[in-house]
């Protein structure tokens, strides 16, 4: 991807890994990006201002009140940047940004920054595992920041553990991926369902499935990055910067969907909804008896996707199907039967994709007969490709 006309702001904090950012700047410049650097004063103990200026071919910003014109630098720089990458991010700077402390130029820019922020921490492994640091990282995730977790290995402090700055190529690729998102869903309400529903048998037992909810979460994150107002209806716990409603059963999910559906523009049904529920839930734990078998009567759950499609007006509805055989044929039948606008099919018989995997490979079908395959890739990439393809149809 060429980065022509892309404005990348890199924040460097005080840490030995600061020297690695020199190579990262070179990679961005080779891709024709316009790069500006903002440093904390302590970062200059590890890399010089002159080096960073020569590599970025721009002035390097350090002091908060070194204003050359009437524009406050922390605002003008924030407005200029398309993305803000902080690498390496120290425990100190992470904690300041998470708690709204703006006592230097970098943290002031972070406080004023309203676009995509990527943070790549680097620190001693005991600092990384500190409860306060982890809470601050979760705060930043909830506000939409992407955290590139450090790697494990030998650390500059002499210890071995998790804390090394992740690879320069990983940081570069993450920035590239983030810059690919357009604002095509700006002003639209997108509902996404995720996870496997839980159908209770008694207070301690239930029926469910292996769905991790990762694909639905990736779609919700992608829709949010594309400017949508997102509502994620999920059976899983997650920290995200948009509206999340946690449900348990198929009936719970249907109830919430009915409440949110009318003013939605796009609905993506990525959840694995149980086909059946227990007919007679036991208020007390079912005791083991002397019988060799136990019979539990099940009744059909409502077909949520079909019911939504019956009542849609202007909404676009996307279904998902997990198939273990005859994927192409079964998906086409299901698309017609359900009445949705698109159906995304994936092969759950493969061990390298699907349930619990971070990668997927899917085929998407439209009611007009269009078919598109997305080859194996991380789910966040598959999610973006699905939304972009749907938007062009």
Helix, strand, or coil (residue 266): strand
Collect contacts of 159-164 with beta carbons under 8 A, ≥24 apart. Answer: 159/124, 159/125, 159/126, 160/125, 161/124, 161/125, 161/126, 161/128, 162/125, 162/128, 162/129, 163/122, 163/123, 163/124, 163/125, 163/127, 163/128, 164/17, 164/122
Measured CA distances, 229 to 118, 129, 182 (Å): 21, 33, 14
Q: Any catalytic annotation for residue 166? A: no
C-alpha span between 145 and 115 (Å, rounded): 9
- Cβ neighbours around 187 below 10 Å, total: 9
C-alpha span between 322 and 309 (Å, rounded): 19
Q: What would the DSSP string read from start to end of 29-96?
A: HHTT-EEEEEE-GGGGGTS-HHHHHHHHTSPEE--TT--SSSS-HHHHHHHH-SEEEEEEE-HHHHHH
Q: Which residues have a Cβ under 8 Å from the Cβ of 158 and sit 6 or more positions away?
A: none
Of the residues 111, 142, 157, 238, which is catalytic? 157
C-alpha span between 342 and 336 (Å, rounded): 10
Collect contacts of 130-135 with beta carbons under 8 A, ≥24 apart. Answer: 130/91, 132/95, 133/91, 133/94, 133/95
- Cβ neighbours around 151 below 10 Å, total: 13
Q: Phi first, then psi: what are they for 73, rounded to 5°?
A: -65, -40
Token pair recorded at residue 185? 């869903």
Beta strand 266-269 with 189-194 is: parallel
| In contact, 300 and 274? CB cutoff 8 Å | no
Instruction: Tell whether omega for the bond before 88 is within 30 degrees of 0, i.e. cis.
Output: yes
CA atoms within 13 Å, Cβ hemisphere of 153: 9
Give which of 311, 325, 318 is closest to 367, Cα–Cα: 318
Give me the active site residues, please: 157
């Amino acid at each position: 991807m060429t980065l022509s006309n892309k404005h990348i702001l890199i924040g460097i904090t005080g840490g030995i890994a600061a020297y690695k950012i020199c190579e990262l700047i070179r990679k961005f410049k080779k891709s024709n990006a316009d790069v500006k650097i903002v440093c904390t004063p302590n970062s200059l103990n590890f890399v010089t201002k002159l080096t960073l200026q020569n590599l970025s071919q721009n002035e390097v910003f350090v002091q908060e009140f070194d204003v050359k014109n009437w524009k406050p630098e922390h605002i003008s720089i924030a407005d200029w940047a398309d993305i803000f990458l902080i690498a390496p991010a120290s425990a100190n700077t992470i904690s300041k940004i998470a708690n709204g402390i703006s006592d230097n130029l970098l943290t002031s820019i972070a406080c004023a920054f309203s676009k995509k922020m990527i943070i790549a921490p680097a620190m001693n492994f005991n600092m990384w595992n500190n409860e306060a640091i982890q809470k601050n990282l979760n705060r930043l995730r909830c506000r939409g920041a992407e955290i590139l977790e450090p790697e494990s290995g030998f650390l500059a402090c002499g210890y071995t553990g998790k804390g090394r700055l992740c690879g320069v190529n990983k940081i570069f690729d993450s920035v590239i991926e983030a810059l690919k998102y357009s604002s095509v869903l700006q002003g639209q309400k997108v509902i996404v369902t995720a996870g496997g529903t839980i159908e209770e048998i008694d207070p301690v037992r239930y029926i469910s499935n292996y769905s991790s909810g990762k694909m639905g979460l990736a779609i919700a994150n992608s829709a949010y990055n594309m400017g949508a107002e997102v509502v994620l209806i999920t059976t899983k716990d997650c920290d995200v910067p948009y509206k999340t409603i946690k449900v348990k059963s198929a009936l719970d999910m249907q109830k919430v969907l009915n409440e949110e559906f009318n003013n939605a523009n796009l609905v993506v049904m990525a959840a694995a909804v149980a086909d059946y529920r227990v007919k007679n839930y036991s208020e007390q734990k079912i005791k083991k008896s002397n019988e060799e078998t136990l019979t539990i009567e099940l009744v059909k759950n409502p077909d949520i996707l079909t019911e939504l499609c019956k009542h849609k007006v202007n909404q676009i509805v996307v279904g998902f199907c997990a198939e273990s055989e005859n994927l192409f044929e079964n998906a086409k039948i299901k698309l017609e039967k359900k009445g949705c606008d698109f159906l995304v099919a994936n092969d759950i018989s493969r061990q390298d994709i699907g349930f619990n995997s971070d990668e997927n490979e899917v085929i998407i079908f439209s009611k007009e007969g269009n078919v598109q395959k997305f080859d194996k890739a991380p789910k966040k990439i598959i999610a973006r490709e699905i939304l972009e393809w749907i938007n062009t149809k």
